[in-house]
Amino acid sequence: MDIVKEIILSTEEQQIISSDLAHNYQIVPKEDTANLISFFISESASKETVKDELELILGKSIKLYTVSIDIINRALILYYRKGKRDTGQDNSNTEKFKFASQDFLEELIFEAKDIGSSDIHFEVFKDEARVRYRIDGKLTEKYKIERDNYLELVNKIKIKSNLDITEKRLPQDGRINYDDFDIRVSILPTLHGEKIVMRILGRDTAHLSMDKLGMAQNEKELYLEALKASKGIILISGPTGSGKTTTLYASLKELNKVTSNIVTVEDPIEYTLKGINQVQLREDIGLTFTNALKTFLRQDPDIIMLGEIRDGATAEMAIRASLTGHLVLSTIHTNSALGTISRLIDMGVPAFLIAETLKISVAQRLVRKLCNTCKESAVLKGNEYNNETFDGIKEHWISKGCENCHYTGYKGRTAIYEIIPIDSILTQEIKKNSTNLEESISDYKESNLSGKAIRLVQNGITSIEEVYSIIIENKG
């Protein structure tokens, strides 16, 4: 038996066989040459039988190197993550994983969905191209593709998305529809070719619930109270991928009554909600947030949801809608709940109008949780992090990686919220155009994003590395 402590595979080596084949035979690629493929194999496997079957399937001579079952299992979990649809039976051969396969794009899409990927990135460079999956907020490289094959793949995606295959100079947006999910396709011309990002959009709304968002009880009560307003604006802020849209949809489900007329304009429509009138943004034909909102006001709405407030014109229309007796929900890109107020002022919205219409400001982030099976405690050294925020933390938890978390060290995510209701004191400060609003929210200061993130570290739920950027950005 060869002495191997850990198997490390490049992206190209992973592509030698499919996930089904690897798990079925308990093998991991070692090397692929013109006439020979060598594999690591579990010491408990029948080498002769596996060798004969692999030579028949792969059409090459096979050489097997025996290693312990623990090493094989670690490599399989790390490099060949199994999805929900995997049956454990080998119903494919390696050609399915070769680009030449007509089903490559379909297999890639369903593989990404099955293992919980939110986005698929197709990128081309000078000499090669690659495919990456975003899983739990992090990108991981999955495939390498030759440049010539990449061009063919781009055309296949354009055809499935009903886009112009001859247009290579301008960005394009499209959509692919499946029975139980949709895909939003964004194409961007870059230096060496077109980059494509596919966003996987699920249609299952069962998980959309205020109880499942992760708000603390007092936070949920504050937020639900704001949702009861007959008019005004509710804004949710955070970077891309922080869960803003999920919070919006859960809010709409809470508000969705037969007595209310709810209209939305979104880009894209991520979930279909029965009883709600949803409009897809189409800026290419002039259907912008601003123009849609003008039409909405003639549709006798009670509640309006805007996917995002991007500019002053949209902000002005949202303010106008709230002043005329409508409840408006939307998202905005800021670092904190108070930052939302500054952002609206920067967009040209008068401070007194913000004070009159804004009901509650919410900032949120998604944080990866440490795997409970393998996380380890460690003493925090004084010079390990150059931030006084950590002075009171003597012990913290670090990610290690195990079979349970696919050797990432993390399993699942949790949301943290900063919720600031616009009460009478804060309203007066906003009207004064005060530059020091922090003192007006002393009752909520301990509930800011930085404080929430630190408590997650102290309670061993996540690592300092995971929340460090949140703490630095929101340390005020």
Length of the chain: 476
b/e map 369-391, b = 16+ CB within 10 Å = bbbeebbeeeeeeeeebeeebbe
Rg (CA), the chain: 26
- Residue 216 tokens read as 């603390």
Q: Is 412 left (phi over 0), alpha (psi -120 to 50) or beta?
A: left
CB 449 within 8 A of CB 336: yes
303-313 pLDDT tens trace: 999 989 989 98
Query: Looking at residue 388, what is its pLDDT?
Result: 65
With 90 as the cut, is the pLDDT of residue 104 above it? no
Query: Looking at residue 37, what is its pLDDT?
Result: 92
Tell me the residue ranges of DSSP E strands in 326-437: 327-332, 358-370, 376-379, 395-398, 410-421
Query: Looking at residue 94, what is its pLDDT?
Result: 39
Topology of 12-79 in CATH? GMP Synthetase; Chain A, domain 3 (3.30.300)
User: Percent of the chain at pLDDT above 70?
Assistant: 89
Q: What SS3 class is residue 56?
A: helix
Name the residue type at position 422.
Answer: I
- Residue 30 tokens read as 């070692």
- β-pairing, 193-202 vs 117-124, is antiparallel
243-259 pLDDT tens trace: 898 999 999 999 999 99
pLDDT tier at 391 (50, 70, 90 boundaries)?
low
b/e map 84-93, b = 16+ CB within 10 Å = eeeeeebebb
Taken in order 21, 25, 26, 32, the sign of the CA dihedral is: negative
Alpha-carbon distance 303 to 322, whole Å? 9
With 70 as the cut, is the pLDDT of residue 1 above it? no
CB 54 within 8 A of CB 39: yes
How many H-runs (helices) and E-runs (strands) does the chain carry?
Answer: 15, 18
Query: Looking at residue 122, what is its pLDDT?
Result: 96
Architecture in CATH for domain 103-201 = 2-Layer Sandwich (3.30)
The pLDDT of 205-220, averaged and rounded, is 87
Alpha-carbon distance 474 to 451, whole Å? 9
- Number of other CB atoms surrounding residue 403 within 10 Å: 15
Alpha-carbon distance 195 to 214, whole Å? 35
Residues in CB range of 70: below 8 A, 6 or more apart: none
- Residue 175 tokens read as 């959509």
CATH 3.40.50.300 is the classification of domain 217-474: yes
Q: Is 359 left (phi over 0), alpha (psi -120 to 50) or beta?
A: alpha
- Where in the chain are the domains? 12-79, 103-201, 217-474
Q: Is 401 left (phi over 0), alpha (psi -120 to 50) or beta?
A: left
β-strand partners of 201? 182
The more confident residue out of 298 and 269 is: 298
Residues in CB range of 315: below 8 A, 6 or more apart: 309, 344, 347, 348, 349
Alpha-carbon distance 287 to 293, whole Å? 10
121-151 pLDDT tens trace: 999 999 889 999 998 888 989 888 888 889 9
337-356 pLDDT tens trace: 888 998 999 999 999 999 99
